[in-house]
Amino acid sequence: MNNVSKYSQLLTIPEFKNDIFTGEEACTRIGNGEIGGKASGLILLRDMLKEQLIHNKFPDVLIDIPRFTIITTHFFDVFMEENDLYEIAFSDESDERIAHHFQAATLPADLIGSLWTIVSKIHTPLAIRSSSLLEDTLQSPYAGIYETKMISNNQPDTESRFRKLIEAVKYVYSSTYFKKAKEYSVATSNNFKQEKMAVIIQEVVGLMHGNRFYPNISGVARSLNYYPFGRLEPEDGIVSLALGLGKTIVDGGLCWSYSPQYPDLSFPYGSIKDLLKNTQTDFWAINMSHLIKYDPVNETEYLVKLNIKDAEYDNVLTKIASTYDVQSDRICIGTFKNGPRIINFAPILQLDELPINGVIKEILPICSKYAGGPVEIEFSIIMDNFRDAKIRFSLLQVRRIANSRSNFKINKKDFNEKDVFVKSDVVLGNGVIDNIKEVVYVKRESFDFKYSTLIASHVGIFNKRLLKQGLPYLLIGPGRWGSTDPWLGIPVKWGQISGAKIIVESYYKDRYIDFSQGSHFFHNLSSLDIIYFYVKGDDKCYINWEWLEEQKVKNESEYIKHIHLDKPVKVIVSSKDKLGVVLK
């Protein structure tokens, strides 16, 4: 990510020592192997904060990186070899079977001693995060491909906490060889057999509320906005905020997106009704009770999904919510009125009650300078409403993002409106593609969001078939592709659409679902130069369904149609012009 060599970077990280570790160390490493892409991003953030002294500009905000320890790839190599795991890892066995094999294996003795020391000194929640060699690279970022596991780490005895930490480390190791990782490697022409995994053990930022632990705000900020609207420009950047853990954002759930240059400018919802349908209604937290179903190969073993009413009970909505006043049919900033809550962060963004947007505006260009290009950062924020304490703004990750913009411009004289099959002013990508003859789309007549998980499996079957034939295709479907919330779109995994070269998100009846800005899914799309269209369904953005449904069907299922065209469509896209068309 920067010009420092891997070896010299390793030397800047203090070595973990069992006899002197206190749990207060900002950063340590276990082993002399490589630290992986995600850990390299954390080291970049560490160096940036040391040199830039950003906190001097915001005296009421503590800007930091949560304490972390890196397990280098050395121990991954030893673990794999000592337990003879490569055969099962390289096989076509299910994720669950691979994960159980890894759980039955034994970690290296030197590593076990260090893990015991960590849990004997730290009793607060921990995130065990992947940091592979390929993760967060610009060419193939592997964003969200590997697993992170959060654990409560609050059991009364050290032995129990130790056992849970060991299970989590093994789970992250096993995710190196899960199906989605292997399929992503094939799609990006990488060899998964050469991949190695480092692991980050990091403090989780949050506050206790009864038996749940979570931050007030999680966020993802990009210095480049791929989908600007109105007066916004790509260089204005984009931020997505959510209540609770950041899983809501990176999984493509409902969150609040805005430009840091225009924090009071809302996305163009059609009505208050649309806004109420698309506001965050649930959030993720760590379950701190001891009533946990034992499931070491489940990412969410220690997580719980809660309703927004639980957050109101915890008194955390004051600075982040507005209220719909039914009598006046308007939205009132704050929670002083009774009525449905809207998580739009208006007290912070419109009234500027807290300098959070100022911190984001300061950090983004600095990170871009250090990383050598546009970046995406992840962060968490806590603010204690019961104590006069500083706001804590914690940086969790930074990664380079691909700049899909170029000098390519669309000449509207090159096409006639009658030749347009798809048109949108919210697009991702640049250039011309003219070799696509296959179109796969979700049938409008049989679609319902309650079937979206089943539909995802159908899409995967068509994708696998077309991949085998070497046929790239155009994919069309309602809502958000890749959302983990099946009521927002088709919850496909990357491997289920890996052959698509153009992806279209369409409207569904009268339901407005805004496009995803913060998810790992879309980070991978942009990095791999896959063309993306968001179609609202108006005069400027539309799909010619009549023409599409007149074409001869090659294959179909209950929910999916695959058509083969006699001549390829022509796709022309310019992010700079905010215009994309697919010509018949």
Q: What pLDDT is stored for residue 181 in this prediction?
A: 85
Q: What pLDDT is stored for residue 517 in this prediction?
A: 55
> What letter does residue 547 receive in the DSSP assignment?
H
SS (H, E, C) 235-293: HHCEEEEEECCCHHHHCCCCCEEEECCECCCCCCCCCHHHHHHCCCCEEEEEECCCCCC
Q: How far apart are CA 470 and CA 459, in angstroms?
A: 16
| CA angle (545, 550, 556) in 5-degree steps | 90
Prediction pTM value: 0.83
Q: What is the largest CA-CA distance in the chain?
A: 75
Angle between helices 73-82 and 109-121 (to 10 degrees): 130
Q: Which amino acid is at 234?
A: P
Q: Which amino acid is at 187?
A: A
List all residues 6 or more positions away from 22 whose beta carbon is below 8 Å from its beta carbon.
121
Q: What pLDDT is stored for residue 145 in this prediction?
A: 81
Q: What pLDDT is stored for residue 167 in this prediction?
A: 96
Q: Which amino acid is at 258?
A: Y
Beta strands in 259-345 (DSSP E): 282-287, 303-307, 322-325, 330-333, 341-342
List all residues 6 or more positions away from 458 whose beta carbon is below 8 Å from its beta carbon.
557, 558, 559, 560
CB 487 within 8 A of CB 453: no
- List the pLDDT tens digit at each of the 584 positions of the chain: 444 455 556 668 999 999 999 999 999 999 999 999 899 999 999 988 888 878 788 988 999 999 999 999 999 999 999 999 999 999 999 999 999 999 999 999 999 999 999 999 999 999 999 999 887 554 555 667 888 999 999 999 999 999 999 999 999 999 999 988 887 777 777 788 888 999 999 999 999 999 999 999 999 999 988 777 677 888 899 899 999 999 998 887 888 989 999 998 876 666 788 788 889 999 999 999 988 888 888 889 999 999 999 999 999 999 999 999 988 889 999 999 999 999 999 999 999 889 999 999 999 999 999 888 899 999 999 997 656 678 999 999 998 887 655 556 777 766 777 889 999 888 887 788 889 999 999 998 888 889 999 999 999 999 989 988 889 999 999 988 888 788 888 988 877 888 899 999 887 766 666 665 555 666 666 656 688 888 877 767 889 999 999 998 999 999 999 999 999 999 988 877 778 899 98
CB 49 within 8 A of CB 63: yes
Query: DSSP string spanning 92-155?
Result: ---HHHHHHHHHHS---HHHHHHHHHHHHH--S-EEEEEEESSTT-SSS--TTTS--EEE----
In 3D, which of 535, 551, 469 has the Cα closest to residue 502?
535
CB 464 within 8 A of CB 583: no
Q: How far apart are CA 569 and CA 420, in angstroms?
A: 10
Q: How far apart are CA 287 and CA 139, in angstroms?
A: 36
**Residue for token pair 């560490």:** 46
Neighbours of 584 (CB within 10 A): 16
List all residues 6 or more positions away from 398 whose beta carbon is below 8 Å from its beta carbon.
1, 41, 42, 44, 45, 367, 371, 375, 376, 377, 378
**Residue for token pair 């919510």:** 321
- 256-258/207-209 β-pairing: unpaired
List Cα–Cα distances, 471 to 483, 528, 542, in angstroms: 25, 17, 25
Q: What pLDDT is stored for residue 524 in this prediction?
A: 64
Q: How far apart are CA 501 and CA 122, in angstroms?
A: 47
- 420-424/391-400 β-pairing: unpaired
